[in-house]
Amino acid sequence: TLWLDVKQLLPGAVECWCDNIQLVYDEEQDVFSNQDGVSIRVPDWGGTSAFESLSPKALLKSATHYFSTFNDALEDAGFKRGTSIRGAPYDFRYAPPSMQDFEADL
Protein backbone atom coordinates (compact mmCIF):
# COMPACT_ATOMS: atom_id res chain seq x y z
CA THR A 1 0.00 0.00 0.00
CA LEU A 2 1.16 3.54 -0.64
CA TRP A 3 -0.94 4.92 2.20
CA LEU A 4 1.60 5.69 4.88
CA ASP A 5 1.15 3.44 7.88
CA VAL A 6 3.27 3.81 11.02
CA LYS A 7 4.51 0.22 10.53
CA GLN A 8 5.90 1.25 7.14
CA LEU A 9 8.35 3.59 8.84
CA LEU A 10 10.21 0.69 10.47
CA PRO A 11 13.59 -0.41 9.08
CA GLY A 12 13.07 -2.93 6.29
CA ALA A 13 9.55 -1.72 5.54
CA VAL A 14 10.34 1.90 4.76
CA GLU A 15 12.63 0.89 1.90
CA CYS A 16 9.82 -1.11 0.28
CA TRP A 17 7.41 1.82 0.68
CA CYS A 18 9.96 4.19 -0.89
CA ASP A 19 10.43 1.85 -3.86
CA ASN A 20 6.68 1.51 -4.38
CA ILE A 21 5.97 5.24 -4.27
CA GLN A 22 8.45 6.06 -7.04
CA LEU A 23 7.09 6.82 -10.49
CA VAL A 24 8.57 5.88 -13.86
CA TYR A 25 8.83 8.61 -16.51
CA ASP A 26 8.16 7.80 -20.19
CA GLU A 27 9.97 10.48 -22.22
CA GLU A 28 8.26 9.57 -25.50
CA GLN A 29 4.74 9.98 -24.14
CA ASP A 30 5.68 12.61 -21.53
CA VAL A 31 3.78 10.79 -18.76
CA PHE A 32 4.55 9.15 -15.45
CA SER A 33 3.37 5.69 -14.40
CA ASN A 34 3.68 3.34 -11.44
CA GLN A 35 6.53 0.91 -10.99
CA ASP A 36 5.87 -2.56 -12.46
CA GLY A 37 3.69 -4.51 -10.06
CA VAL A 38 2.26 -1.42 -8.33
CA SER A 39 -1.38 -0.48 -8.83
CA ILE A 40 -3.32 2.28 -7.11
CA ARG A 41 -6.90 1.85 -5.98
CA VAL A 42 -8.71 4.66 -4.21
CA PRO A 43 -11.21 3.40 -1.64
CA ASP A 44 -14.68 4.92 -1.51
CA TRP A 45 -14.44 6.90 -4.79
CA GLY A 46 -17.16 9.56 -4.63
CA GLY A 47 -17.59 9.08 -0.90
CA THR A 48 -15.78 10.83 1.93
CA SER A 49 -14.01 8.14 3.98
CA ALA A 50 -10.85 8.21 1.83
CA PHE A 51 -10.04 11.81 2.75
CA GLU A 52 -11.52 12.37 6.20
CA SER A 53 -8.38 11.30 8.07
CA LEU A 54 -4.78 10.43 7.27
CA SER A 55 -5.05 7.03 8.96
CA PRO A 56 -8.05 4.78 8.47
CA LYS A 57 -6.96 2.70 11.49
CA ALA A 58 -9.34 3.22 14.42
CA LEU A 59 -6.48 3.90 16.86
CA LEU A 60 -5.07 6.80 14.81
CA LYS A 61 -8.21 7.97 13.04
CA SER A 62 -9.22 10.59 15.61
CA ALA A 63 -5.65 11.89 15.91
CA THR A 64 -5.24 12.28 12.14
CA HIS A 65 -8.64 13.55 11.08
CA TYR A 66 -8.57 16.65 8.94
CA PHE A 67 -11.71 16.72 6.78
CA SER A 68 -14.08 14.81 9.06
CA THR A 69 -14.78 17.90 11.19
CA PHE A 70 -15.49 19.92 8.05
CA ASN A 71 -17.84 17.21 6.75
CA ASP A 72 -19.56 17.03 10.16
CA ALA A 73 -20.24 20.77 9.91
CA LEU A 74 -21.63 20.35 6.40
CA GLU A 75 -23.93 17.60 7.66
CA ASP A 76 -25.08 19.90 10.47
CA ALA A 77 -26.00 22.39 7.72
CA GLY A 78 -28.15 19.78 5.96
CA PHE A 79 -25.75 18.12 3.53
CA LYS A 80 -25.29 14.35 3.45
CA ARG A 81 -22.11 12.28 3.06
CA GLY A 82 -22.09 10.31 -0.19
CA THR A 83 -24.95 12.33 -1.67
CA SER A 84 -24.31 16.06 -1.44
CA ILE A 85 -20.83 15.74 0.11
CA ARG A 86 -18.65 13.79 -2.28
CA GLY A 87 -14.94 13.34 -2.82
CA ALA A 88 -12.62 12.61 -5.70
CA PRO A 89 -9.36 11.50 -4.07
CA TYR A 90 -6.41 11.45 -6.45
CA ASP A 91 -2.83 10.22 -6.48
CA PHE A 92 -0.80 13.26 -5.39
CA ARG A 93 2.32 12.01 -7.15
CA TYR A 94 0.98 12.70 -10.64
CA ALA A 95 1.11 15.93 -12.60
CA PRO A 96 -1.93 16.78 -14.79
CA PRO A 97 -0.56 15.29 -18.04
CA SER A 98 -0.45 11.88 -16.32
CA MET A 99 -3.94 12.10 -14.78
CA GLN A 100 -6.13 11.12 -17.76
CA ASP A 101 -7.85 8.32 -15.79
CA PHE A 102 -8.70 10.70 -12.97
CA GLU A 103 -10.21 13.26 -15.34
CA ALA A 104 -12.23 10.56 -17.11
CA ASP A 105 -13.60 9.26 -13.78
CA LEU A 106 -14.86 12.70 -12.82
Q: What distance in Å separates the CA atoms of residue 106 and residue 8, rounded to the nearest whole number?
A: 31
Per-residue confidence of the chain (106 residues) as pLDDT tens digits?
Answer: 566 667 777 888 888 888 888 999 999 988 888 999 988 877 788 899 888 887 666 666 677 777 888 999 999 999 999 999 998 887 888 877 777 778 788 8
Radius of gyration from C-alpha coordinates of the chain: 16
DSSP state of 16: H
Q: Other CB atoms closer than 10 Å to residue 43's CB: what's the count?
A: 10
CA 11 from centroid of its chain's CA atoms: 24
Q: List, in order, residues 6 or more apart from 72 with CB less than 8 Å away.
A: none
